[in-house]
């Protein structure tokens, strides 16, 4: 069976988000922004899993679109945490690179699915 790269990348990203959340709450005593990051950052992979067993192409597109919104929101929280000096430049850059790669993969999947409906 072929590996689902997006499924793997979003699961690994979720692990990194959980670890970032633990760092923010334990080391920085930050509980509000970190909770938002945790919620959006881990929901991306959950939506990818839901899309994997979607009932139809439109359902797949809908679930992937939610994942796209969640990863975009995650990027916002990362930017805010970096701008307010809760996370280092290295941590921000590393997580942001992963998030940007994920959003590109999701966008590509959505475009492919939409074009297969229209043809």
Contact 87, 78 (CB under 8 A): yes
**Residue 3 confidence (pLDDT):** 73
Q: Structure pTM?
A: 0.94
Q: How many domains does the chain have?
A: 1
d(CA 29, CA 43): 23
pLDDT in tens, 18-32: 999 999 999 999 999
- Is pLDDT above 80 for 119? no
CATH code, domain with 74: 1.20.1440.60
d(CA 119, CA 114): 9
pLDDT in tens, 48-81: 999 999 999 999 999 999 999 999 999 999 999 9
* Ramachandran category for residue 87: left, alpha or beta (phi over 0 → left; psi -120 to 50 → alpha): beta
| Residues spanned by the domain of 14 | 5-118
**Residue 1 confidence (pLDDT):** 59
């Amino acid at each position: 069976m072929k590996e689902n790269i997006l499924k793997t990348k979003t699961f690994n990203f979720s692990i990194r988000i959980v670890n970032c959340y633990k760092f923010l709450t334990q080391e920085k005593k930050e509980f509000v922004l970190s909770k938002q990051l945790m919620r959006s950052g881990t929901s991306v992979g959950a939506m990818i899993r839901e899309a994997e067993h979607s009932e139809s192409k439109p359902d797949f597109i809908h679930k992937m679109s939610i994942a796209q919104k969640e990863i975009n929101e995650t990027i916002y929280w990362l930017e805010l945490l970096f701008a307010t000096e809760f996370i280092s430049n290295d941590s921000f850059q590393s997580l942001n690179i992963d998030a940007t790669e994920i959003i590109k993969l999701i966008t590509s999947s959505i475009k492919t699915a939409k074009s297969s409906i229209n043809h």
